[in-house]
Every structure is written in structure tokens, then in C-alpha cells.
Amino acid sequence: MENPSGTFVISLDFELHWGIFDVKSVDDYKLNLENTRKAIRGILELSDKYKIRLTFSTVGFLFAENKDELTHFAPKVKPRYTNQNLNPYPLISSIGKDEIDAPYHFAKKEIEQIAKNPNHEIGTHTFSHYYCCAEGQTLEQFDNDINAAVKIAEAMGISINSIVFPRNQVKDDYLRTCFKNGITSYRGTEEAGVYQPRKSMPRIMEKGLRLMDSYVNVFGYHTYPLGTLQLSRSKNGECLNIPSSRFLRPYSKTLKILEKLKILRIKKAMTHAAKHGHLYHLWWHPHNFGANMKENLGNLEMIFKHFQKLEKDYSFTSNTMTSLKEQFD
């Protein structure tokens, strides 16, 4: 890829309660969960208005119409986490039977609506919101999980080609399993050291530095030259690393005085990417917009308007994860 135009990628971790069940109950997070579908409609309306392509990295459980279908596609070999609080399967017996009774655990109709728009992509967030670095689980269990995610999507006529790993827990040998199952790209983590797994730094310090970096340029722009994006190679093929640039933090009433700085930080990095032929990869969870929706969608529109300007001035483009991968083929 010689002298490419810069590109803008957005990946959304679509998970509903399956992404947080181990840390929050439905009641703890009800407002966000109740409004997730409304937030998605707002995000889609803005993406259509500004011609932005989106990748919805979706938990496989959400594809099921009801518990019977979920059980049918569930793999026989399931994750055996040492910490069983991470295991979502026991929760299935306590939820409602279908999307009407359990709207925070099934989303087949929502997925169908997203899939109708050819500009967007449905990727996977694994079948069961699988934790690749958790103790007790194995590569075989992960293989079964990914295979189930691919099959339940295929039943809806959806081809899965990209993955976002839950909690960004990426492992090289697991990427080879992804490729074996037809997945050709993944979202890697930011390259700055504070975003990489490390045992030497206290967790509170790590979170503080990441928070600071969201508002001011502490660790750089987090953009990546398209011509040098790294390919993770294996004897089974290659999976393109499309690394993250920025988690779009939801609007915070506590930190509202800093909201302009947060958006300015993103816009400056997008401009850097557009000028230099780099990737800028923004991500968040749709449920993040469930509270303070007006403010969150307003922030997103400012980002999209800036994209439109960069598109005009620098031929900045918008890609899904898979459409970007195809440019390397």
C-alpha cells in the first residue's frame, strides 16, 4: 500500500449485559441497558448522515432469538474458568425466554436491522464474551467458542470476518484459531506502554494515566501508518492487527468541564492521521451512550463533522475493519 490516504475506523463492542454481567447486575446498569437500542439508532442515523462506516463487534449470545436457539448453537466444550464468576452460562437459566422477556440478553432483531445496511459490518466479540487470558480456559475451549460465534451468524446469513477480543485480551496462538475460522482482522491495543499489560505498574496509576491521556496528549496521537500495519503471521495464514487509537469515553457530568478537551484530543489525532496517511481507530460500547444520550450523540456528531472536513481536505476515508483488511489483499 503506497502513499495511502488516511482512514477512520470505528468498532463498537455490542454486548448488552453479557459484557458486564460479572461486575454489574441489570439493576446496577439498567438505564444504560434500557437505552442501548435507542443509542444504536442514534449512532446509525449519524453514520448515515455523515457517511461513516461502522463495525459492530457482537457477542454471539445476542444473535439467538430465544434460549432454545442459544442452547442449540452453544458449543459442547465451554470455557472452564477457575473464577466461575466469569462464566456466563449459568446465568442463562435465570433470564427470560426471548428478546421480549430478556431484552438485555437477546438482540437478534437489532442485529438484523444493522446488517441490512451494506455500509456496516457485523463482526464478533466472541460467542460468550470469552476471556482469553483468564485462568482455567484453554485454546480448545476458545476454538469451540469462536466456531459457535461463526455458525450462529451464518444462520442469519452473516459472514464473520473480524474480531474484537473482550477486555482486549489478545493472544497470538488464539489469532491463529481465529484465522482458521475465517476471521482475518482484529482490534489490537494502543501501542503506548501504559495500554499494554504490565505487572510492575499499580492499577490505579495505570488508570490515572490513561484517563489523563484521554484529555491531553500524554502518549502521542495513537495513529498508525497504513503502509506499516503489522500482520500477525502464522502457518495458517495472517490476521491483520487494526490497533485501537482511542476509547471514546462517555459523557461525564463530573468531568463535564473537560468534555471539550476530550473531543479536541480526538479531532487533533484524526487530523494527524488524515495528513500523514495513518489509521485512526475509535471504539466504545453502544451501552456507554445509554445515559446522557443527548450529550454523547452530540459529541459523536462533532467527531463526524470533523471527519467530513478531513474527507474534503485530505481524502480521509471511512472503513470497516474488514474493508480495510481487503485493501491489503
DSSP assignment of 133-168 equals TSTT--HHHHHHHHHHHHHHHHTTT----EE--GGG
Residues 74-103 have pLDDT tens digits of 999 999 999 999 999 999 999 999 999 999
| DSSP one-letter code for 249 | P
The DSSP line for 2-19 is -SPPPEEEEEEEE-GGGG
Residue 235 lies in a domain: yes
How many domains is the chain partitioned into structurally? Answer: 1
Residue 23 lies in a domain: yes
Rounded CA-CA distance 181/151 in Å is 10
pTM exceeding 0.75: yes
Task: Please give the pLDDT value at position 185.
Answer: 96
Residue 2 lies in a domain: no
Residues 112-129 have pLDDT tens digits of 999 999 999 999 999 999
Residue span of the structural domain in which 139 resides: 7-326
CATH number, residue 215: 3.20.20.370
Residue 173 lies in a domain: yes
Residue 20 lies in a domain: yes
Q: What is the pLDDT averaged over residues 1-22?
A: 90
Residue 287 lies in a domain: yes
Residue 1 lies in a domain: no
